[in-house]
Structure 1
Amino acid sequence: MTRILIATVGSRGDVQPYVALAKGLIAEGHEPTVATCERFRSFVTGHGVAFEPLSDDILLLLDSDAGRTAMDESSGLVGTIKTNIALAKQAGPINERLLGDVWRAARTTEPELVVYHPKALAGPHVAEALGVPAIEALPVPVVVPTGDFPVIGLPRLPLGAGYNRLTYRLVSAGYRQYEKMANRFREEDLGLAPVKNAAMPTRMPDGRPIEVLHAISEHVLPRPADWPEHARLTGYWFLDGEDDWTPPQELVNFLDAGDPPVYVGFGSMAGRDPARMTREVVAALEQAGVRGILASGWGGLDTAGLPDSVLAITEAPHDWIFSRVSAVVHHGGAGTTAAGLRAGRPTVVCPFIVDQFFWGARVADLGAGPTPVPQKKLTAERLAAAIREATTDAGIRETAEGIGRAISAEDGIATAVAQINDVLAASR
């Protein structure tokens, strides 16, 4: 039995895959602990996984008016730069506290391996202090340079591989702002000497490359040929096992009352005007001539006064609800995109921020859905056209079904656990 600390920070999409991985590690006899924001304590422990708390401050920042405004403006090069500038002053102290939180969690759990999301900056430094290996794990391809596509958040331009690789230098430049903070943490908390490039996302402080596991299916994102050997695609890490979930009778009755509806849900993405968004979505469903299920989630969508053709729910397990609808409309988060594709359903992505634009483009490039409808440009007419295309185009439906079968045949968690075991074996 190996003690493993899994450190991750962010929204539900930054936590759920790691809980799934932890359950896979438990099944293999390991003893993982997920260290993440306090908000997710009951979510983590409810799945039988040990928990250590990290600060909720980053979530509070993103939930604030300033955070929502900044994230609304985060698309494209200019928007991404504006967002980083807008949030940098508040994010600095938050990240400094998180460094200490991860170290406290490590002292409590005494791990023999540290698995970390790159937003948990302490990961490789804590591993060095403990003399144990580290693995970087993430659900988006954002830290390993490639000529195949630009870094997430920057535009796809017809400038070739050179441009694409160049964009990843901006990621490294962004991490450099944390270099003094990381070295202060090394000296004052860990008793380690300062190092050059202390905040590099893909290397240990001594310059050695870190094993990077991407929880992504190769059927959705083919592995770039120019990635180094230590960067891997494992397949998705799905958190299933919701067989004991009982749907509300109202939902069962609605599903049984007519043709399969279209699912619409934007997760924790609310935008600055959820009421307007709801009006446009409902009008789009009516114009497309389809029934709809509207999942309000954390996004604050206004579900009052809906027509009989639209049912509002708070949430439902994706692996349960997606198999019962005709198409899925969502924000394009990595986990939601994966769940919709695994279900073999045509997908309409309405991206709000950063990586959601990337996944929306991938869905369209694969032919599993229409061109994305960004939330800033979302109107009833645009969304209705996309929904009609998703629900009536036989080619899209057949492509989505084929991708669903391919993803369902994978076992990303088993692959990731095997690679973690290899790292452990090599370290011993």
Structure 2
Amino acid sequence: MTVLILTTGTHGDIAPFIGLGRRLKESGYDVAIATYEAFSEQVRAGGCEFRRLTGDPSRLGVAEQGRLKKPGPGDTLRTVRWLKDIARHVDELSGDLVAAARQGADILLCCGLTTFYGYHLAKALGIPSMGLALQPLHPTGEFPPPLGTPSLGRRGNHALGRLMFTTGLHPWRSSPRFCRELGVPALTTAQTLRQTARERWPVHYGFSPTVAPRPADWRPGIEVVGYWWPHEEPGWRPPRELADFLDAGPAPVRVGLGSGGDPRDREEISALLAAALRKAGVRGIVQSGWAGLHATGDDLLTIGEAPHHWLFPRTAAVVHHVGAGTTAAALRAGVPAVTLPTFGDAPFWARRLVALGASPGYVPLNQADPDRLARLIRAAVDQPRYRERSRGLATALAAEDGAARTVETVRRLLGG
């Protein structure tokens, strides 16, 4: 039987679903992943069939949201415009989603921006489906939607979460037009939320309940199952320059923004990060990422791609943009984090890391300065409690198996 995973986003959004696809393959299913051409090699390396969605993940507006500019009254308006641009992008993908499903599928796993589109598509095809996500997006009173919003109290948090669905600005967006084209009831985003609740449509959140426990006010059918770890290429070897740098002194601090940051700000961000590392008096590895960051010096090394599961355990601390995937990788490695949240779910994860004792603090990227960042780095490296707590969390995560729980639900939905 064929499992089709529909997913969009940046590398950190896609990699967990490739890892889940690999586990489904190992459980005896044929697995196809519909996503952007940019990730075709990773999909195939994970042993899954690639099905193409139109688009370029580097043009989803992530960089623009991560500009190194001071906060101002226009921030909310910019975020709303970005969400509307994302909604238009999903509309443009609708034909590709249908084409991918018609190549053959017995169940749809609906992820990211495609979630409600995939739900309606499965209805039209008469096959089962389930939702998958990396961030806690259902309304709850326990915290606000993970979009950088401060807590408004239990009632306010829940109301704001529902409002996101009502306005159609939620990442899980429905389209009555798409529904009509499929021949299923034309439901808005809010109506789709209510229908999936009545049906107890299964949704799995792929993060650890140790890191963010399941809210008690979520409906039955919504589960926090644990992380889906990315597929790891066997036998990866570091470039000689990286291996030599690691061997040449104490464990360094890794710094990177992944898909965050903006190439237009690369010089200013690079200078800020390099100055912070020097002020902290630590050796540093700077990963260039989408922004093209770089740093030079006797105790600094700039590198490109290196698997997080290999690199992070060899560091003293990790400075990152708090994407869901990078956050999980640092926790799995058992190393403390200093975070530079930009937008979206990043502030949510930054606050969780502090609350868990795995981070001495965070500073929004557009408010960062070398002195403030250096103090946080030194605290992460010097104060044993952050490393001890990080190691304890890594031990807890090692005992969880989110993929196994999702595979079991897929088996049940397919009648196995």
- TM-score norm. by structure 2 comes to 0.92
Higher RCO, 1 or 2 (CA under 8 Å, sep at least 6)? 2
Partner residue in 1 for 2:27: 28
> What letter matches 2:217 in structure 1?
D
Partner residue in 2 for 1:55: 54
> What letter matches 1:152 in structure 2?
P
CA–CA distance in 2 between the matches of 1:75 and 1:149? Answer: 23
- Paired residue secondary structure (1:26): helix
1:345 and 1:74, CA in 2 relative to 1: closer, same or farther beyond 3 A?
same
1:114 aligns with 2:102: no
Partner residue in 2 for 1:270: 261
CA contact (8 A) 1:20 1:238 kept: yes
CA–CA distance in 1 between the matches of 2:173 and 2:390? Answer: 47
Partner residue in 2 for 1:100: 95
> What letter matches 1:233 in structure 2?
V
* Residue correspondences, number: 414
- Paired residue secondary structure (1:51): strand
CA contact (8 A) 1:74 1:354 kept: no
2:308 maps to which of 293, 318, 327: 318
- Give % identity: 38
> What letter matches 2:382 in structure 1?
T
How far the C-alpha of 1:105 sits from its partner, in A, is: 0.3
1:390 aligns with 2:385: no
The gaps in structure 1 that reach 5 residues or longer are none
How far the C-alpha of 1:202 sits from its partner, in A, is: 4.0
CA–CA distance in 2 between the matches of 1:244 and 1:146? Answer: 43
- Paired residue secondary structure (1:132): coil
CA–CA distance in 1 between the matches of 2:228 and 2:72? Answer: 28
CA–CA distance in 2 between the matches of 1:205 and 1:81? Answer: 30
**Correspondence 1:174-189 to 2 at 5 A:** 174-175=167-168, 182-188=175-181
Partner residue in 1 for 2:285: 293
CA–CA distance in 2 between the matches of 1:176 and 1:283? Answer: 38
Q: Please give the root-mean-square deviation of Cα atoms over the aligned residues, in Å.
A: 2.5
How far the C-alpha of 1:3 sits from its partner, in A, is: 1.1
| More displaced 10-residue stretch of structure 1: 112-121 or 77-86 | 77-86
- Paired residue secondary structure (2:168): helix
CA–CA distance in 2 between the matches of 1:25 and 1:179? Answer: 24
CA–CA distance in 2 between the matches of 1:264 and 1:393? Answer: 19
1:130 and 1:71, CA in 2 relative to 1: closer, same or farther beyond 3 A?
farther
How far the C-alpha of 1:240 sits from its partner, in A, is: 4.0
CA–CA distance in 2 between the matches of 1:149 and 1:206? Answer: 20
1:176 and 1:60, CA in 2 relative to 1: closer, same or farther beyond 3 A?
closer
1:399 maps to which of 389, 393, 397: 389
CA–CA distance in 2 between the matches of 1:77 and 1:167? Answer: 20
The gaps in structure 2 that reach 5 residues or longer are none
2:369 maps to which of 376, 379, 382: 379
1:416 and 1:76, CA in 2 relative to 1: closer, same or farther beyond 3 A?
farther
| More displaced 10-residue stretch of structure 1: 328-337 or 78-87 | 78-87
- Paired residue secondary structure (2:282): coil
How far the C-alpha of 1:100 sits from its partner, in A, is: 1.2
How far the C-alpha of 1:73 sits from its partner, in A, is: 7.7
CA–CA distance in 1 between the matches of 2:327 and 2:43? Answer: 22
Q: Deviations over 1:359-410 (max 9, x none)?
A: 1110001110011111001111111001001001111111111001111121
Partner residue in 1 for 2:205: 214
1:279 aligns with 2:274: no
CA–CA distance in 2 between the matches of 1:118 and 1:201? Answer: 15
> What letter matches 1:195 in structure 2?
A
2:358 maps to which of 346, 365, 368: 368
CA contact (8 A) 2:40 2:50 kept: yes
1:343 aligns with 2:333: yes
How far the C-alpha of 1:35 sits from its partner, in A, is: 0.4
CA–CA distance in 1 between the matches of 2:172 and 2:407? Answer: 31
CA–CA distance in 1 between the matches of 2:297 and 2:259? Answer: 24
Partner residue in 2 for 1:195: 186
CA–CA distance in 1 between the matches of 2:405 and 2:200? Answer: 20
CA contact (8 A) 2:338 2:360 kept: yes
Partner residue in 2 for 1:236: 227
CA contact (8 A) 2:226 2:403 kept: yes
- Paired residue secondary structure (1:360): helix
CA contact (8 A) 2:206 2:228 kept: yes
**Correspondence 1:49-198 to 2 at 5 A:** 49-56=48-55, 59-62=58-61, 68=64, 79-86=75-82, 88=84, 90-109=85-104, 111-120=105-114, 121-142=116-137, 144-157=138-151, 159-175=152-168, 182-188=175-181, 190-192=182-184, 194-197=185-188
1:45 and 1:145, CA in 2 relative to 1: closer, same or farther beyond 3 A?
same
- Paired residue secondary structure (1:41): helix
- TM-score norm. by structure 1 comes to 0.90
